[in-house]
Structure 1
Amino acid sequence: MSSSSTWPADPPQTRADWVDARLRMAILTGQLKAGTRLHAERLAAQWGVSATPLREAFQRLAGDGLVEIAPQRGARVAGLDREKAAEYYELRLLLEPRALESSLRQADAAFLDEVRRAITELEAVGTADSVETGFSAHRSFHQTLLSRCRNREMLRMCTLLQDQTQRFAANSIDVKHIGQHRALAEAVLEGDIGEAVRLITVHLHTTVDAAHSPTGALPAGET
């Protein structure tokens, strides 16, 4: 599940996949704000594609909770609120340590190489880099850590929850926490499963605390 820090600049196999990834990126990084009306024709003109794959992407992202579709009102970027954010983080705290432990018990040389690449890409992100670059490196790091989880449904749910909380973070807090990520990567590379599980739990608590701090305000108009 690891992806490069250029995601989704490198088009996936199909145009529909590329549109899906591009729209997801725009929502998760806050380029398309919560509540924004989604016009398939307008986005199609901007991105040089037809409107059909965009309408299909609206439906798929609605299933992931990122888009809301209402009769007579069309599609909008799903709203954000603190109560939902707290629920997402609670679920991450329940599932992600278990998924990480499962993943690390399947670790092999190839997996450890992927972790090294992921932390190197994340640490290479600078202040001059785009939001998309930082987001992609952060997303890739967390997905790489869980990528060997044997419970694929748990892994799918972790990915959805990560996207939802990182969407909140994109509007309010620094998503990198480089020191915590480095310590977590080192525990993984040393094969210390207990320490890695402890550190991911600490990291998630730190992130949720920051999201609920006075500086972690929601965008204007959101509750």
Structure 2
Amino acid sequence: MRLSADLVEFQDRLGHKFRQPALLLRAVTHASISSATRPDNQRLEFLGDRVLGLVMAEALLGADLQATEGQLAPRFNALVRKETCAEVARDIGLGDVLKLGRSEMMSGGRRKEALLGDAMEAVIAAVHQDAGFEAARGLVLRLWGSRIGTVAPDARDAKTSLQEWAQARGMAPPHYTLTGRDGPDHQPHFKVEVRLDNGAVETASAGSKRAAEQAAAGALLARMETPND
């Protein structure tokens, strides 16, 4: 099969020329437009998640020979989470070539973090299926680039850190509440509140519920760890 012009350009940005172009087409096809003759990227996403995980685990082991499992795990999670996959997807313009149903396009699907992250994993799997593990490994290391070497030594996300802070003090896990949502479907804005047993509360807003929760958790943790004057 012949790829469309936009997918040919994407191949160039990706740095991998597919011997089986149908794999690339499948990797960028969302379930909202799939059919019996046009499979979506969900199975590839499943495989790509595992390929990415193995590549990152190997890379982190090689980058820090003294790190313990407890130190490596949060760094690993920071590099393979959906937000990071979505960042990489934006770097290579993956959203521009996604094949989406009309409703998903109208709701801003090309910019949705979860959708971009899933598609990035599917593209990794497509390269793996097209040319093998070493090709997929090379792709991941190149696209993630400096993120691997600069991931924070303690890369726990804010929600995890806040939960550990609370548990260490005998508190229940933080409670998150969605307190507002506005903006058009293609560019929503979420407001989230996080509250602790001791009555401490913070709110934050972001373009996704997950990002708003992280921002609120980070703000509350910073306040809890700041010594009182």
Normalising by structure 2, we get a TM-score of 0.28
Structure with higher strand content: 2
Normalising by structure 1, we get a TM-score of 0.28
Q: Which has the higher contact order (CA 8 A, sep 6+)?
A: 1
Task: Report which of the two structures shows the higher radius of gyration computed on alpha carbons.
Answer: 2
